[in-house]
Amino acid sequence: MKKLSKTPLFAAADIFIIALVLALAAVPFFISVKGAGAPLSASVKINGRDAGSYPLDNAGEFKLVGENGIEMTLVVDGDGVFVKDSSCRDKICERTGKITREGQSVICMPGRISIALEGETGGADAVVG
Amino acid sequence: MSAAKKTALCAMLCAVSAVLSTLESALPLPVFFVPGCRLGLSNLAVITAIPLVGAAGSLSVVAVKSLLILVTRGVTAGIMSISGGLLSLAVMLLLFRLARFGFVGVSVASAAAHNTAQLAAAGLLMGDVRVFSFWWLYLLLSIAAGALTGVAAGVIIPPLGRALGAR
């Protein structure tokens, strides 16, 4: 182990670490743009199994029941979905807020529920223009 | 440092990490509007443990912290905590050993590793890779949170080490 007194608060090499993390963070911006503009639907999985798909143009409130007795209300409106009234105490899914773009997701760990926006056609095959 | 002193210090750091972790979950930061994202204050105890009590000692700090979360917040949170804790500890041990990086760099790398391991654990638990959709955001926040705790570590650890008679 390096001598403690020799470890600086900030070293030049730290810039490399920060740049690497920034580069990793930039990756999704280059791969998640396809299919933009396709009609979206919220695909729900519970414990890894498909548990329904909710097209965004079919607005309404839907009850989801996950593992460990966790229940929540999925609200679908014209341009996105969000979760309200989750019975879990963490409320992480509620704090995620509304998701509106393809690829975004709302996750409930205790209930093993994941909700993600997907293009209804499984992504655009061809975008012209 | 004598073995007894080391053991006592290790136990104190375990207690500090438990307190910081509890304190942090009691005070959600309004600055970070990202679901489940926290500053990672308890990592201060781990990053302090590495130079002062070594790899085995710091592993015990991570284990105690995760055990506390397992008992108080359930199995899922416990698995998430231990996954993040172990990968971030491994990264910190490696970077300290390479001896080229400062506290800020080590802390940023550790925060990024912590978040990545947690998402991977979440993905395995849920059977769904879509949990990675906000990975980029967690990575950006790990730079901010890691830099903050890194500065705190760099300010606290050297005088603490001298006071305790470490090298």
Residues of chain A with Cβ-Cβ distance to B76 below 8 Å are: 109-110
Per-residue pLDDT, A124 = 45
Say yes or no: A129 contacts chain B, CB-CB below 8 A: no
Is residue A128's pLDDT more than 50?
Answer: no
B126–A109 C-beta distance less than 8 A: yes
pLDDT greater at residue B116 or residue A4: B116
B142–A1 C-beta distance less than 8 A: no
Is residue A8's pLDDT more than 50?
Answer: yes
Is residue A29's pLDDT more than 90?
Answer: no
| Region of poorest pLDDT, from A63-67, B2-6, B139-143 | B2-6
Domains detected in chain A: 10-124 (2.60.320.10)
Residues of chain A with Cβ-Cβ distance to B96 below 8 Å are: 1-2, 7
The Cα–Cα gap between B121 and A115 comes to: 17
A18–B108 C-beta distance less than 8 A: yes
With beta carbons less than 8 A apart as the criterion, state whether A96 and A106 touch.
yes
ipTM here: 0.91
> Which residue is closest to B74 within chain A, CA to CA?
A110
The Cα–Cα gap between B93 and B13 comes to: 17
With beta carbons less than 8 A apart as the criterion, state whether A107 and A96 touch.
yes
Say yes or no: A92 contacts chain B, CB-CB below 8 A: yes
Domains detected in chain B: 3-163 (1.10.1760.20)
Per-residue pLDDT, B26 = 78
A94 CB contacts (<8 Å, ≥6 apart)? A82, A83, A84, A85, A86
Average pLDDT over residues B52-80: 93
Say yes or no: A16 contacts chain B, CB-CB below 8 A: yes
Structure tokens at B56: 């085995």
The Cα–Cα gap between B42 and A118 comes to: 37
pLDDT greater at residue B101 or residue A128: B101
| Chain segment B108-162, per-residue pLDDT in tens | 999 999 999 999 999 999 888 888 888 998 999 999 999 999 999 999 999 998 8
The Cα–Cα gap between B153 and B156 comes to: 5
B131 → closest Cβ in A1, A21, A105 = A105
The Cα–Cα gap between A97 and B36 comes to: 12
Q: pLDDT band at A4, cuts 50/70/90?
A: low
